[in-house]
């Protein structure tokens, strides 16, 4: 065919394809979940576009997903009549991986020699469409974007190039045909051309999909049957839904292949009715610190998908929370602009934030440890950004402290250990634990047994300034005048040394504001302290690096 073009995959895409072909991921069945998930997204998008664009020439009469098996040719086809893709979209969406964090992932995969660890990384990344190459030696995709006249046909063996050509008679939507690898046939459980196998995989992974997934009946004759139950999980009572269904639903909304750390349900009835099913992932996503990274909440209105990445529903620091909010009383035409001003949305957001924070607070210790090691940095953003919930966030924070060399402490535990007469929560910021421990400021505190928080994260500088915890102020041991149990003798000594101090102040000139005697040193002869409201050296460095 003269109009067939052969194009190269982007290099990151090529590398991920190689990984999938040499399948380091043991559970091959997931390819079907990924295809069904994409088909479901495509149907959601079509329905939404037809609401927003009344002129769109699209067929929405019988939106569904269809699975077609051909045991003789050994093919499996997943077909949807959803939004479809234009030629350029196919090249951009299938031929490249635009996901942020791809380069880091590939770097880590190269370092990892252990197969289980590699599979874990891949799972965390969620290699959607490319997972088909675990089970297929050739994949054909035919698609036509809704509202356009001509489709495209894409085909690849996953080896580095793909072909693309016009497909004049392609129906609206997308069909993906897998030419199955012969080796999976020998293993009965993984024969993806066998109706019983495919049916059970769909039931297991995709039962909650809200579009019908149809297959030819078991007998092979008669009308296609709908395989999934299509119940919106968030609208069902918790006792009615199995753990496994919840996990699969999480995987669908999050594109994460791992199980979630925790599930959060919210139901509100009455004048403003909504349901939410939210998840805290067990691993931080690769793009957690990428500026344009999406937030994880999808908004539905009366079971109809409205938008993903609904930033009106969660503050930026909770961007790792995934899930669905289904509001009953919004219009299907709701736009971002309307959402921003909607009082009910603001109320939902408030309640979601509080619920997420209280859920984290109540996590059993082991889960909490996982949570904190993955998400401590974003939670500290919350300390700075969300003044209303600062206290609640502080309650779920842990910090390294001089109390233990390897375990972090919660602030409530610090407060319990405070010495008699101790008013403040002491901390010192610095570049590393060693630097902090060797600081002369630490001497008297160590000697007298006062616990000091060891804060090495640059953002720590910013939140400690914002207020106290449980009625106690945070006090830097490098700032201001701290007298650990002052005695009357100290005052005497100050007058005794007045001449020396005056001479030193003059001699040091503009470099210091004042020279004073201190009880905070035990072995070092002198140290530099900042004023209460001075920037610490770390913060000064940070601002300077930012050009301020
Ligand atoms: P993800 O679903 O995480 O974005 P995938 O690799 O599964 O990643 O799919 C890549 C992109 O290709 C999707 O985001 C979507 O834009 C497009 N795509 C895949 N399958 C379909 C489909 N059946 N219909 C329309 N677009 C699709
Ligand atoms: Mg996908």
Residue of 93, 144, 148, 305 to mutate, ligand 1, most atoms within 8 A of C-beta: 93
Question: In DSSP terms, which residues pair with 292 in a beta bridge?
Answer: none
- Measured from the Cα of 45, ligand 1's closest atom is 25
- Measured from the Cα of 83, ligand 1's closest atom is 25
CA 28, 34, 36, 37 torsion-angle sign? positive
How much distance in Å is there from the Cα of 28 to the middle of ligand 1?
19
CA distance 217 to 199: 10
CA-closest residue to ligand 1 atom 27: 38
3-state class percentages of the chain: helix first, strand second, coil last, to nearest 5: 40, 20, 40
How much distance in Å is there from the Cα of 320 to the middle of ligand 1?
21
- Find the DSSP H helices in 189-334: 195-206, 243-254
DSSP 419: P
Ligand nearest to the CA of 42: 1
**Residue with token string 């995969």:** 109
Ligand nearest to the CA of 45: 1
- Measured from the Cα of 34, ligand 1's closest atom is 7
What are the pocket residues of ligand 1 if the criterion is a CB atom closer than 6 Å to any ligand atom? 34, 38-39, 42, 80, 82-85, 93-94, 128-129, 174, 255
How much distance in Å is there from the Cα of 372 to the middle of ligand 1?
32
Residue of 128, 132, 152, 158 to mutate, ligand 1, most atoms within 8 A of C-beta: 128
Q: Residue 216 has what pLDDT?
A: 92
Q: Residue 547 has what pLDDT?
A: 59
CA-closest residue to ligand 1 atom 1: 128
For the chain, the farthest-separated pair of C-alpha atoms sits apart, in whole angstroms, at 106
**Residue with token string 């930026």:** 316
**In terms of C-beta distances under 8 Å and separation of at least 24 residues, what long-range contacts does 484-488 make, across chains too?**
484/444, 484/445, 484/448, 484/450, 484/519, 484/520, 485/421, 485/448, 485/519, 486/519
The secondary structure element, H or E, covering residue 44 is helix 30-52
Q: Residue 125 has what pLDDT?
A: 80
Q: DSSP readout, 50-82? A: HHH-TT-----TT--EEEEEETTTTEEEEEE-S
How much distance in Å is there from the Cα of 220 to the middle of ligand 2?
29
Q: Which of 93, 64, 86 has the alpha carbon at shortest distance from 148?
A: 86
Q: Residue 489 has what pLDDT?
A: 61
Q: Residue 88 has what pLDDT?
A: 96
**In terms of C-beta distances under 8 Å and separation of at least 24 residues, what long-range contacts does 157-162 make, across chains too?**
158/17, 158/20, 158/21, 158/130, 158/133, 159/17, 159/21, 160/8, 160/9, 160/14, 160/17, 161/6, 161/7, 161/8, 161/9, 162/6, 162/7, 162/9, 162/94, 162/95
Which residues sit in the known binding site for ATP? 34, 38, 80, 85, 99-101, 124-129, 174, 336
Give the CB-side neighbour count of residue 208, counting CA atoms within 13 A: 21
Q: What is the pLDDT of residues 268-294, one digit of tens each?
A: 988 889 999 999 999 998 788 877 777
Is ipTM beyond 0.95? yes
CA-closest residue to ligand 1 atom 8: 128
**Residue with token string 């001509």:** 150
- Measured from the Cα of 38, ligand 1's closest atom is 20
Question: In DSSP terms, which residues pair with 180 in a beta bridge?
Answer: 136
CA distance 39 to 56: 20
- What residue ranges of the chain have pLDDT lower than 70? 1-2, 188, 480-491, 519-522, 531-539, 541-548
Residue of 9, 31, 32, 38 to mutate, ligand 1, most atoms within 8 A of C-beta: 38
CA-closest residue to ligand 1 atom 18: 38
Ligand nearest to the CA of 127: 1
Parallel/antiparallel/unpaired status of strands 173-180 and 453-455: unpaired
How much distance in Å is there from the Cα of 36 to the middle of ligand 2?
8
Structure tokens at 312: 């009106």
Q: Residue 21 has what pLDDT?
A: 87
CA 199-202-204 angle, 5° bins: 110
Rg over CA atoms, the chain: 30
How much distance in Å is there from the Cα of 126 to the middle of ligand 2?
8
CA distance 480 to 498: 19
Q: What residue ranges in 181-231 does DSSP mark as E strands?
A: 213-215, 225-226
């Amino acid at each position: 065919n003269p109009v067939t073009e052969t194009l190269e995959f982007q290099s990151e895409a090529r590398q991920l394809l190689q990984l999938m072909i040499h399948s380091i991921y043991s559970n091959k069945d997931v390819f079907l979940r990924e295809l069904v998930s994409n088909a479901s997204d495509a149907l959601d998008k079509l329905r939404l576009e037809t609401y927003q664009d009344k002129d769109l020439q699209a067929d929405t009469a019988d939106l569904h997903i269809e699975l077609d098996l051909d045991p003789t040719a050994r093919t499996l086809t997943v077909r949807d009549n959803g939004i479809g893709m234009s030629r350029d979209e196919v090249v951009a969406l299938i031929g490249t991986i635009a996901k942020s964090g791809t380069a880091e992932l590939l770097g880590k995969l190269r370092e990892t020699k252990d197969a289980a660890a590699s599979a874990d990384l891949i799972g965390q990344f969620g290699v959607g469409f490319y997972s088909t190459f675990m089970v297929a030696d050739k994949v054909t995709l035919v698609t036509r974007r809704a509202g356009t006249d001509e489709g495209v046909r894409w085909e690849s063996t996953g080896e580095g190039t793909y072909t693309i050509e016009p497909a004049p008679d392609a129906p609206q939507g997308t069909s993906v045909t897998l030419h199955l690898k012969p080796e999976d046939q020998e293993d009965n459980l993984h024969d993806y051309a066998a109706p019983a196998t495919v049916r059970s995989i769909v039931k297991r992974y995709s039962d909650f999909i809200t579009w019908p997934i149809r297959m030819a009946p078991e007998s092979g004759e008669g009308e296609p049957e709908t395989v999934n139950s299509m119940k919106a999980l968030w609208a069902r009572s918790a006792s009615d839904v199995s753990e496994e269904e919840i996990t699969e639903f999480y995987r669908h909304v999050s594109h994460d292949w791992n199980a979630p750390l925790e599930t959060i349900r919210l139901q509100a009835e009455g004048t403003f009715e909504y349901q939410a099913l939210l998840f805290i992932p067990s691993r931080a996503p690769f793009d957690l610190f990428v500026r344009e990274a999406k937030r994880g909440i999808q908004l539905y209105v009366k079971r109809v998908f409205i938008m993903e990445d609904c930033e009106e529903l969660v503050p930026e620091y909770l961007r790792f929370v995934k899930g669905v909010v289904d509001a009953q009383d919004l219009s299907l035409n709701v736009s971002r602009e309307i959402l921003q001003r909607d009082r009910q949305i603001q109320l939902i957001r408030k309640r979601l934030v509080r619920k997420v924070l209280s859920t984290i607070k109540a996590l059993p210790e082991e889960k909490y440890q996982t949570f904190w090691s993955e998400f401590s940095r974003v939670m500290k953003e919350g300390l700075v950004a969300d003044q209303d919930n600062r206290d609640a966030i502080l309650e779920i924070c842990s910090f390294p402290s001089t109390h233990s060399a390897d375990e972090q402490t919660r602030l409530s535990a610090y407060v319990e250990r405070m010495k008699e007469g101790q008013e403040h929560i002491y901390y010192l910021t610095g570049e590393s634990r060693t630097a902090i421990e060797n600081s002369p400021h630490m001497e008297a505190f160590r000697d007298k047994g006062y616990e000091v928080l060891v804060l090495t994260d640059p953002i720590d500088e910013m939140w400690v300034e914002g207020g106290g915890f449980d009625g106690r102020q945070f006090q830097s041991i490098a700032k201001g005048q701290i007298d650990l149990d002052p005695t009357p003798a100290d005052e005497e000594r100050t007058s005794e040394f007045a001449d020396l101090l005056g001479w030193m102040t003059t001699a040091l000139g503009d470099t210091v504001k004042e020279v004073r005697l201190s009880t905070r040193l035990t072995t070092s002869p002198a140290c530099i302290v900042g004023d209460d409201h001075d920037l610490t050296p770390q913060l000064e460095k940070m601002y300077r690096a930012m050009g301020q």
